[in-house]
Structure 1
């Protein structure tokens, strides 16, 4: 019989038996039962299923003994080893976690941006040709939309390139990275598109009151180009929506807007021509402009709230709390937890209580291991763990 070594005993002492006390999978409500429920009941149990599934993910992480492995790494004579389970430790002692979502999706992000760029160049040229052939304000609105798509892709490509730059001077100037450039780029584009379509809406209103009283006619080439625009944007939307990046999600949102936009840009002038409704083309352009403005105002507000540090969603806070409570038996109490946005992803501050008899070394290793475990979660950018020996000490920071 092999006896455990001192490092394993220390990990067992600090972490203990943290196997999940619940069979969460048994609490999931299946699709068949969900379909039989009323709308409000179904929404409740769908949210509950999402929370349970995320609890199961936490159980899989902790049941893999990742916490024991991290404590075991601290017990080694040298922490600068490259065989750690949760990640690798570089020459500066920095742990790189394998679960970092940005590394996992970086190739898809770059490819999605390039494909959208090529599609937008083609559509921009095609729609410019249509505007020269017709006088449709709906098609002009569609041309403006394609021009802004081109600008959007350029902004996102520029911000993504800056984020991925990792020269020593950049690391010195931006010690926590420049990931917030991504939502800032989306915010800038949102403001540009709102201003641009406000101008299109003004032009549409002017045409309704003072424009020509003849319906606009679209030819076969114009119809073919607009139809191709719908098909290409449908492809872009199906692809981009699967990439978990705010920049690419903005491209997916824009692609869905373009699908609706281009369909209606065809429908309004054709219907107006068939039924001799001269006003339908400018009226359609006005409706499309209002639709785009309304959609992107919501995006603008969302990114402003994220950049100004709004609290994370309740489900994220519940998942992080569950991880902290389950992480180690040495953690006696979680006295405070703050989860708030710092751009797309979250910053986490946790106050935990441990036994006052623990040594400084044990307390440090336990707290830092918990920090890294929280940072393996894809929605978390940084975590800060405050260790305490009693529950009634000061909590949080001085409010400025």
Structure 2
């Protein structure tokens, strides 16, 4: 009875799947209209994920746990984790360890690939004097450094011992984007040096075209194949560290293809300047890519507001969570590294007891934290809608 009193009937009253426009219809639309409906499809699918979460009676189970005296530490394991939608379940310890293992495996595989490519490109540099290949060697050396930095930051972020929890009460998940940020700065500075060397060769370098022999060509081709494999795999793993490796792998695919193209084309056409020009263009390309990444992580680490779609999904979850939630007076969603911090101000009936409002608010907090993009949620309960909202701005 208490569960029904606090939660009520929270079954979805709308069929969001009816909003989804199929691919065949999208193809017939003008580009600007197609973009709108694709966004609508994404939002409807996200709402369907929330419906799947709440229709699993997750809120009812948590309130029953409170009533029966289940401890806070075991409450998460009592929640049903039978939701098939992407990430929308309380992850068990085994699931978290499996996810962590996938990230570690991806980092190790990239590490081994980078060792092989670094060795191979070192041999090519000894056989040729191509500045494009030297740029590619620098890229592989930085890949090796990138993987090392990301492995260290990921390992530190995932540490769960008690002393770490005492020193870092909210965890160290921000170490992952900080590791990516450090590497971004290193790679930008390094390729600025490569660009300077390329300019110097254009003005005062050798006038003989560089010849890229069959062994060198084979190693560079192998680099493209291995990086293509790494990109296809890493892009499917939802971790900022592994996503950085995926981005780097895609950059390497383009980089290695052009590192082959410029010296070979220059040799065939007799253009000595084609190789240093190619190295200059490659350096500009890499610098541009990583400057974007740098600014993205700086924005996230300094608390930029979250995506509008994420905010809509969180708002929808709060309003659907329980009939006793009368309104939301504030929903603040902002980055704290890769994932989001959420603050919601919820108005409930002032006739509720402290026990009831506590249980409702904490259950809502855990439900919001179930969302895969959320790091931590804070629920402020109020009895009227015209009280102060938020915090003092400093």
Q: Secondary structure at the match of 2:326?
A: strand
List per-residue Cα deviations over 1:245-289 (Å, max 9, x = no partner): 000000000000000000000000000000000000000000000
Alignment-derived partner of residue 84 in structure 2: none
Cα distance in 2 for residues equivalent to 1:130 and 1:102: 42
Contact residue 334 and residue 350 of structure 1 kept, 8 A: yes
Alignment-derived partner of residue 13 in structure 1: 5
Give 1:78 shift. 3.9
Q: Provide the aligned length of Structure 1 versus Structure 2.
A: 384
Contact residue 99 and residue 376 of structure 1 kept, 8 A: no
Write out aligned runs for 1:158-169 (5 A).
158-169=152-163
Cα distance in 2 for residues equivalent to 1:316 and 1:262: 37
Q: Say whether residues 1:201 and 2:190 are aligned partners.
A: no
Contact residue 182 and residue 247 of structure 1 kept, 8 A: yes
Alignment-derived partner of residue 93 in structure 1: none
Give 1:123 shift. 0.3
Cα distance in 2 for residues equivalent to 1:153 and 1:76: 48
Contact residue 99 and residue 377 of structure 1 kept, 8 A: no
Give 1:86 shift. 4.4
Query: Are residues 16 and 312 of structure 1, via their aligned partners in 2, closer, same or farther at CA, if it must alter by over 3 Å?
Result: same
Write out aligned runs for 1:179-194 (5 A).
179-194=173-188
Give 1:99 shift. 7.2
- In angstroms, what is the RMSD of aligned CA positions? 1.4
Alignment-derived partner of residue 85 in structure 1: 79
Alignment-derived partner of residue 323 in structure 1: 317
**Which residues of structure 1 form unaligned runs of 5+?**
1-8, 88-95
Tell me the TM-score normalized by structure 1. Answer: 0.94
Q: Secondary structure at the match of 1:179?
A: coil
List per-residue Cα deviations over 1:341-370 (Å, max 9, x = no partner): 000000000001000000000000000000
Q: Secondary structure at the match of 2:378?
A: strand
Cα distance in 1 for residues equivalent to 2:359 and 2:129: 70
Cα distance in 2 for residues equivalent to 1:333 and 1:376: 21
Write out aligned runs for 1:9-158 (5 A).
9-79=1-71, 81=74, 84-86=78-80, 97-98=90-91, 103=97, 105-158=99-152
Tell me the TM-score normalized by structure 2. Answer: 0.95
Contact residue 56 and residue 80 of structure 2 kept, 8 A: no
Alignment-derived partner of residue 281 in structure 1: 275
Q: Say whether residues 1:217 and 2:208 are aligned partners.
A: no
Contact residue 347 and residue 383 of structure 2 kept, 8 A: yes
